[in-house]
Structure 1
Amino acid sequence: MEQNQLTQEKTSAALAALQLVKDGMVLGLGSGSTVKIFMKLLAEKVKREGLKVYIVSSSYDTSILAATLGLIEVSLNSFTPDLSIDGADTVFPDKSLIKGGGGCLLREKLVNYHAREYVIIVDHTKLRAKLDGPLTVPIEVHPMSYSQVVKALRETFNAESSLRVFSEKKLGPAITDNGGFLLDATLNWSGDMRILEEKLKSLPGVLETGVFAIKKPSKIFVGQGESYTVIE
């Protein structure tokens, strides 16, 4: 699929979610390319309609863009988001998700799970027809114990895990906004994704997992060309 078509689908999904934004809202914002499109549309809406909107960011990347766009950021410690908007790497039919391709999974989960509700915006390529075959799950781990987590993943799930590294301009492992390391674990799972989330999180040294299933989004807006569909 051409990049222009994917961008159009991301924009269609973002415009659909933008309709949920009301004056006075505290909005949680995820990270990634589709969220960036949403943020630019949000900034235009805020300026055009004179809205008072406050955002809770899930990453330094999102915070930097918010400041550039003139969006007002507040702390999750002080405000509960009325609504959070985020993207996803994989969406399953039961609305469970895999996230963390950008390495922001821990803060994204904090913002989304503490929000009163959250919605997901994606292009159609992120949909997976059924839960079968291997899954690659990003996992944030404490640097002190990453090799022990790799061992535990192999013993518990027969998973093959790789330590994510920076691709350019910096040697060594990719470091999250929280100072953690990132593992990408490939494993076979065909059961309840909530159980997988709990089992992964229970491993000592795991700070957070890219499985989002215990609290699922209220809606998923899926870009389809210049239009969109809604999964509820």
Structure 2
Amino acid sequence: MSESIIEIKGLKNYLGGQWVHSGVDLTVQKGEILAIIGGSGSGKTTILRSVLMLMKPTAGDIKVFGQDISHLDTQEALALRRRWGMLFQHSALFSSMTVLENVMFPMQEFTNLEYEFMYELALLKIALVGLPKEAAGKLPSELSGGMQRRAAAARAIAMDPELLFLDEPTTGLDPLSARRFDDLIVFLRDSLKLTIVMVSHDIESLKRTTDRVAFIGDGKVLSIEPIKELMKNKHKIIADYFSKV
């Protein structure tokens, strides 16, 4: 039986005077790439924020690596956060730092490694995501959108995470760059033995990368299945969604 990395049970979120989630149940298995999709306002990113401990849900239980995140003290929460990486929408790199400095930043914040070791380790991560060595000394503004996304991926894996979160990873990329970034996602999962959870609305990307897709609608998970099966699902909300994309 596969190990569960994330377990969400009965998640409820009340935001802006309305229930965004009325009871989300979702399990992410070790080693899989799982995407969360749904219509506008369905609360896809809110689920991500709840798991990342960026917001406190109204109700429900969330376990990550078997730990109930609602019962962690500051040090335990910090230790848990070190076990995952996050790639934000539009990369969110520090604009005044070079790519190398961006990748080194988490190491400087969370470890006591010698500078020379962090420097070499950062160069290794930059190479791993397919960036040329000369990109290390460039500012994000000097890179293309696709290269910026790769730099952000290098920063996300800087601390050797077991779990990687991606928020709309291909948004804003041209079709070729998006396809290449999809290849990188699968490569990182396979080579680093990662579990990956992402929010996306890019159907072609989901076809290329995911093992399963969770569809959020009516405040809960309506279905979890491979994307090609999900696209044939007859549930009205799901069928309506795919008829418009």
With the length of structure 1 as denominator, give the TM-score of the two structures.
Answer: 0.29
With the length of structure 2 as denominator, give the TM-score of the two structures.
Answer: 0.28
